[in-house]
A and B are shown apart, each in its own frame.
Chain A
Amino acid sequence: MAREDDVWLDEAAGPLVRPYAMTRGRTRPTSPELDMVTQVVTARRGTTDRSGLSVEHLDILELCKRPLSIAEVASYLDVPLVVGKVLVGDLIERGDLIAGSASSRTAEMPNRKLLQAVLDGVRRL
């Protein structure tokens, strides 16, 4: 499963730089629960003071000028999903990023109307 450009030497050795270094040890986002498909988009009027932000944070703000899922953000940044969630959570908390209403934020199945809309869309493909 590992790619050649992976930072992992091998499974036993562990990563050279632990992903959590990027999040200062945090493994849970501070803002509302984020799902891997939660859509996030950069706020047009976010905070202007970006001095507290890391390179990864700034990359996310750039990427999310169009709405993306957290899974996509993590993938484009080449960071693990959990790291993506924490970083996105930071930006939501600052008001720099807006999160959409992922239906999967709850344990509920999508409702009838939503399913119908997805069905119609897939049929049109």
Chain B
Amino acid sequence: MSETLTAPTAVKIVIAGGFGAGKTTMVGSVSEIVPLRTEEVLTEASAGVDDLAGIEEKNTTTVALDFGRITINQQLVLYLFGTPGQDRFWFMWNELARGAIGAVVIVDTRRIEASFPAIDFFESRGIPFIVTVNQFDGSIPYGAEEVRHALDIDDEVPVVVSDARNREAAKNALVELIEYSIRRLDETEGEAGAGDGEPVDSEVPAAQ
């Protein structure tokens, strides 16, 4: 009974979409903390550089990431990370997406093309994502199917009408994504002939 202190397991969901689409708003709607901001320092050489001590001016910049937290139980925490808005920070998206449950891509129907890069990113990497159509005051109320058509995404990708400001709507979007991720996982395991499923993992925290 000495020190068996353990830290919880953490998982994350990525919230993506164009600038001003409502990413941080959605994080704030469901997070138990006021969304936090962290910054990553980038250099021109960025990845793969071990020692930057000698590198001089003008080659660093920062990428801000807004994120929130949902404590599922004592052993399990979910983080929601908003992607940086600028497309030039793609490599930051790689760390964000690594090991993520999936992504919610928020679409603003006034600027639907702003969501294309995010959709391409998750599609090409096989990361599960859903699309939420954010209802703004004054936005044209396109239906989910119209948006699906405009985005040219696969039939099985869930498209839901949502409101980033609304906690219940934001929560439902997360539920939709996690359910979709589970379906995707089950399909993959079926294909692999795993049959009886349930991978053995002693470290999985149980739901309360």
Residues of chain A touching chain B, judged by Cβ–Cβ distance below 8 Å, are 1, 3, 8, 11-15, 18-20, 24-28, 35-41, 43-45, 67, 69, 71-72, 74-76, 80-84, 98-123, 125
Interface residues of B in 129-169 (CB under 8 A from A): 167
Residues of B within 8 A of A81 (CB): 38-41, 65
Contacting residue for B7 out of A11, A20, A35, A41, CB 8 A: A41
Residues of A within 8 A of B23 (CB): none
Residues of chain B touching chain A, judged by Cβ–Cβ distance below 8 Å, are 2-3, 5-12, 30, 36-41, 49-53, 57-58, 60-62, 64-65, 67, 69-70, 72-73, 76-79, 81, 85, 95-96, 98-101, 167, 171, 174-175, 178-179, 181-182, 185-186, 189, 197-199, 201, 203-207
Contact A119 B53 (CB under 8 A): no
Q: In whole angstroms, what is the CA distance A38 to B98 when docked?
A: 12
A9 CB to closest chain B CB (Å) equals: 11
Residues of B within 8 A of A24 (CB): 53
Can you give 19 A-B contacts (C-beta < 8 A)?
A13-B57, A14-B58, A18-B60, A27-B49, A27-B50, A39-B10, A43-B5, A76-B36, A99-B7, A102-B10, A104-B12, A109-B100, A112-B197, A113-B204, A117-B206, A119-B179, A121-B76, A122-B171, A125-B30
Residues of B within 8 A of A8 (CB): 62
Contact A100 B201 (CB under 8 A): no
Contacting residue for A111 out of B39, B57, B201, CB 8 A: B201
Residues of A within 8 A of B41 (CB): 19, 80-83
A119 CB to closest chain B CB (Å) equals: 4
Contact A121 B70 (CB under 8 A): yes
10 other contacts beyond A44-B3, A111-B204, A119-B179, with CB at 8 A cut-off? Answer: A69-B69, A81-B38, A81-B39, A82-B41, A101-B7, A102-B99, A107-B98, A109-B101, A113-B201, A117-B73
